Structure 1
C-alpha cells in the first residue's frame, strides 16, 4: 500500500525564521565573546545587538551559559569541518599544522569566542550540552590519532606526553601572542599566523 502523502523534507517558513534568528544570535554572541569576554557580555546586550526583545532571546537560550555552550559547539563543528576538508595526501603533522593555522586565523579575525576556563557554571553548562561533548570528543579523538602518528614517525617529539601536545595545540586558539603582535602593527594577520604555527611546531631553538 502506497502512502498518500510524501512528507516534505523542507523546513517550514517558521522553522526557517527561527533558524535564521538563532544564527544571528550566535553570530552576535560569538563577536561579543571574542571582543569582551563572557563576564562583560550581558543578555540585554545580545538582544539589543540582534534586534529582538530579551524575552525572545530567552525562548532560544535559557541563560548566558547556554548561549556560550551553543556558541562553543558551533565553533567545534566548524573545526571538524576544517578537519574534514583536509587533503587525504596530508601527513599527520601537516593536518595538525593546518588546524592550528585555522584556529589562529579565526582568532585574529575576532571570531574566536573566549570563555573563562575555570568557571564552574560554564564548565557545567558545556559538560551538560550533549552536542558540545560529542563534537569535542570527535575533535580530541582525531587530534590524538594525528599526534600518535606524528610521534611514531618522528615528526613530533616522543619525549612529550601526548596530553601536553594536545593541550598546547588547543591553546593556540586563544594565544595572546597573536593579539600582541597584531596590536604592534609590524606584521600582517597572515604573517602572524605563520609565525605562531612555526614556533608551535619548530620551536625557537636554532638549527645546528
Structure 2
C-alpha cells in the first residue's frame, strides 16, 4: 500500500479496530460494545456501518483477499510471457502485503470459521482462483510440474506468507519482506519426491484404551473438525461411547480437556526433541530429526493441530501460560539449531524461518485440496527442509 494512499474511511477505521480486538481476545471474546468503545462511539452508531460483528470480520477478510488479488494482477500484467522476474515481483508483492497486513492473515487463520457460510465460500472461491493463477504461472516456468504438484507448491508458498500470523517476531519491514519472498521461492523450487506409501504405523497393541484416553482422542478429533465452541460435552461423550455428564468424571470442563490435549502433544514433541538432540551428530542432522518427529506427530493424530489452533485462547486460565511456555520452548530448540547451522541468520530471522516451516506443515496437513495426497508426509518433510535451507 502506498504511503500516499488516502486516509482510511470511517468504516475501514472501525474494521481495523475490530481486527485488533479479534486478534487479541478471539472472536467470541469481543462484543459490538467493545468495538464501539475502542472507537469512542456507541453501539447503535457502529450499527450504521455494519449489520453485526460477523459483517465486520467479513469486511476485514474480504479486503485482505482483494489486496492479494491486486498484488497478483499488478505483478502478472507487466509482461506478456511469464519469466523469473515476473514471479519475483509476485513473490515480493505478496510478501510486502503480508508484512503490512499480518493482522488480516491472523484473523483468516484463527477466526475465519466464524464467517457466514456465504462469506466462507466467497473467500474460498477467490483464494482458490488465486492459487490456480499462481499454479498456472509456476507450470509455465517449470515444465516438470503437473497441475496437482504445482498447486501443492503454491499452497506451501501461501503458507509461508501466512506464517506471519502465528507469531509476533519482526525485523525491519524491507528485510522481512525479502526473507518471506526467499522462503516462498525455496518451496516453489522444490523437487517433490515420488509418491511412495508411508511405512505402516506400529500395531495398536492389545486391550482397550482407558476411558480417559478414549475421551481425549474423541475430543481432539471433534475440536479439530468443528472447533472448540461448536462441540459440547455431550458430543464428546457420544463420540467416546458414554453419556455426556460422565465426561465430567475425568475432566472438569471443556477447557480442561483442551489443556490436556495440548499438554500431551507438547510433551510428546519435547521428549522427541530431546531424543533427537542426544542422537544427532550436528545441527543439520538434528533439524532433520525434528522435521521427521514433527511430521509423524502431526499426521498421526489431531492433537497437535488442535494444540496450535485458534482454540488456544480457550485454555483454562491457570493452564494457558504453562502451555504457551511449552510451545515456546519447543520452537526455541528449532531456532537455536537453525541459528547454529546457519550463522548468517540473526535470531529473529531464524525464528521467522522456523515458524514458516512449521506453518507449511500445519497448513498442508489440514487443507482438504492437498491433504489426501498419498505421499503427503514425505512431501511435508521435503518442504520443511527446503524452507530451512537444509539442502
The two structures have a TM-score, normalised by structure 1, of 0.67
Pick the aligned partner of 1:157 from 345, 348, 354: 345
Kept after mapping to 2: 8 A contact 1:93/1:155: no
Whether 2:319 is the aligned partner of 1:105: answer: no
Distance across 2 between alignment mates of 1:29 and 1:135: 18
Give the 5 Å matches for 1:37-186: 37-86=227-276, 87-111=278-302, 112-114=304-306, 117-118=309-310, 122-123=312-313, 125=315, 128-129=318-319, 133-134=321-322, 136-138=324-326, 140-141=328-329, 143-154=331-342, 157-158=345-346, 160-172=348-360, 174-176=362-364, 179=367, 180-183=369-372, 185=373
Matched-pair contact (CA < 8 Å) for 1:100–1:173: no
Q: Are 1:199 and 2:389 matched, yes or no? A: no
Q: Which runs of 5+ in 2 are unaligned?
A: 1-208
Taking the aligned partners of 2:377 and 2:295, their CA distance within structure 1 comes to 10
Residues 118/160 of structure 1: CA separation in 2 closer, same or farther (3 Å cut): same
Deviations 1:73-128 (A, max 9, x none): 11101112211321433423433333233333333344334368556xx4252552
Superposed displacement of residue 72, structure 1: 0.8
Using the alignment, how far apart are the partners of 2:297 and 2:334 within structure 1? 21
- TM superposition score normalised by structure 2: 0.39
Task: Tell me the secondary structure at the aligned position of residue 161 of structure 1.
Answer: helix
Cα offset, 1:64, TM superposition: 1.9
What SS does the aligned partner of 1:52 have? coil
**CA–CA distance in structure 1, aligned partners of residues 307 and 322 of structure 2:** 19
* RMSD (Å) for aligned C-alpha atoms: 3.4
Q: Secondary structure at the match of 2:290?
A: helix
- For 1:95 and 1:168, how far apart are their aligned partners in 2? 18
Q: Give me the whole-angstrom Cα distance separating, in 2, the residues matched to 1:88 and 1:155.
A: 22
Counterpart secondary structure, 2:230: coil
| Distance of 1:138 and 1:27 partners within structure 2 | 21
User: CA 1:173/1:33 → structure 2, altered by over 3 Å: closer, same or farther?
Assistant: farther
What is the CA-CA distance between 1:153 and the residue it aligns to?
4.1
Q: How far, CA to CA, are the matches of 1:51 and 1:33 in structure 2?
A: 17
> CA separation of 1:102/1:47 partners in 2, compared to 1, >3 Å: closer, same or farther?
same
- Does the 8 Å CA contact 1:43/1:64 hold for their aligned counterparts? yes
Q: Secondary structure at the match of 2:306?
A: coil
Residue 31 of structure 1 contacts residue 113 of structure 1 at CA under 8 Å; is this kept in 2?
Answer: no
Structure 1 unaligned runs (5+)?
A: 1-18
SS of structure 1 residue aligned to 2:377: helix
Do 2:295 and 2:377's aligned partners in 1 also have CA atoms closer than 8 Å? Answer: no
Structure 2 CA distance for aligned equivalents of residues 125 and 159 of structure 1: 29
Higher helix share: 2
Larger radius of gyration: 2
Local SS of the residue matching 1:157: coil
- Residues 99 and 172 (structure 1), Cα distance of their counterparts in 2 relative to 1, 3 Å cut: farther
**How far apart, in 2, do the equivalents of 1:63 and 1:156 lie?**
47
Contact 2:273 2:290 in 1 (8 A): yes
Number of residue pairs matched by the alignment: 180
Distance, in Å, in 1 between the alignment partners of 2:272 and 2:220 is 18
Change (3 A) 1:42 1:172: farther
Return closer, same or farther for 1:95/1:172 CA change in 2, 3 Å cut-off.
farther
Greater relative contact order, per chain length (Cα 8 Å cut-off, separation 6+) = 1
